[in-house]
Amino acid sequence: MRLSRALLLLALLVPAVATPPLLRAQDAPSADAPPVSDAPDTQDTNGQNAITTLKVSSNLVSLFFTVRDKHNGLVPTLTKNDCNIYEDRVQQTIKDFSTVSDLPLTIGILLDTSGSQMNVLPMEQQTGAEFLKQMLKPKDEAFLISFDVNVNLLADYTSSAAQLTRAMDKATINTGGGSGGVPGIGQGPIPQSGAPKGTLLYDAVYLAAHDKLRQETGRKVLILLTDGQDEGSEEKLSQAVEDAQKANAIIYVLLIADRGFYSNGGINLGGFTGDSAMHKLAGDTGGRVIDVGNNGKKMEAAFAQIEEELRTQYLASYTPLNTKLDGGYRTIQIQCKGDGLKVQARKGYYAMPSDDTN
């Protein structure tokens, strides 16, 4: 492990507020969490196979996805006969297919607290709190991470929207202020003004995926509230994408840009939003980017769209014809029959042995 990454991990052992450490020994799922199994579950009371994992194993790949029509409306009525799955361009035989709406969710909220978010942070806190209050069900869990020149765990796994709201309300802007410390350590009091010295966005995604979600089961989602600009991360975009895919996490990005901040700094916003990187991060994992600017109503609508999508998903599984577990990347394409239907799904997966934890 490189020294700088080790320092980042050390920082997450000492969160900014009094919360359990981020790197706890890979939290075991609660007793009522979806099981991890190489075989499909038995039939439910409706006579449908209830697959409740998103897992790659020696004989099963399971995928969550959503489908929209040509008018951009969600399509909730498809069956196994309506869709085809291709791995590395080779058609696979779908083993099980079901709709899911109430399967437990594990949600990670990643909150950008760098200087560029100074004027929009209150909007993020208020709207994010309302989303969690609306979204979280008793069997769901969520955690909250802030990232700027540091990556901090503000709230560990909980199903309490109130606890998450309190942690979110305590988030503050941290620009680094030229303290000279290594990003991730936290060098004592840091001024809350001045030009940003770093935004460890990719590191935050890597740590959330690798150290929080990798060993969790069921549906896993990361929601990023950010302008998309990374500065100073140890990890590259490609590594953040890879670890999110290995964790089977869907990433949504709420692209939030305080136009006044960039204008005052003489920066051309059109070239400084991180759009391309965020579309890569979200698109490759089965999520999407929603541009909300600095508009509170748009942010509310974005959270509502995410909630609707997560409650209107399909889950399909197949036994891959390529049985090698060599760590290689396999591309995935899902096609569904219908006029102008568009599938939102991850672009692929890594064929890792089931006991691989690297």
Q: How would residue 101 be classed by pLDDT, with cut points 50, 70 and 90?
A: confident
> In the predicted model, is pLDDT for residue 287 greater than 80?
yes
d(CA 63, CA 333): 11
- The mean of the pLDDT values for the chain is 80
Query: Could you tell me if 107 and 97 lie in one domain?
Result: no
- The domain that contains 222 carries what CATH number? 3.40.50.410
Structural domain includes residue 273: yes
Output 201 or 12, whichever has higher pLDDT.
201
Q: Which residues span the domain enclosing 72?
A: 61-101+312-350
Query: Could you tell me if 84 and 193 lie in one domain?
Result: no
The 10s digit of each residue's pLDDT in 32-56 is 333 333 333 333 434 444 444 444 4
What pLDDT score was predicted for residue 198?
81
What pLDDT score was predicted for residue 102?
80
Query: Could you tell me if 200 and 228 lie in one domain?
Result: yes
Output 277 or 193, whichever has higher pLDDT.
277
Structure tokens at 33: 């969490």
d(CA 170, CA 154): 8
Query: Could you tell me if 77 and 13 lie in one domain?
Result: no
Query: Could you tell me if 131 and 251 lie in one domain?
Result: yes
Q: How would residue 290 be classed by pLDDT, with cut points 50, 70 and 90?
A: very high
The owner of tokens 């990187």 is 277
Output 189 or 327, whichever has higher pLDDT.
327
Radius of gyration of the chain (CA): 20
d(CA 328, CA 15): 35
Number of domains in the chain: 2
Query: Could you tell me if 86 and 229 lie in one domain?
Result: no
What pLDDT score was predicted for residue 51?
41
Query: Could you tell me if 70 and 203 lie in one domain?
Result: no
Query: Could you tell me if 244 and 211 lie in one domain?
Result: yes
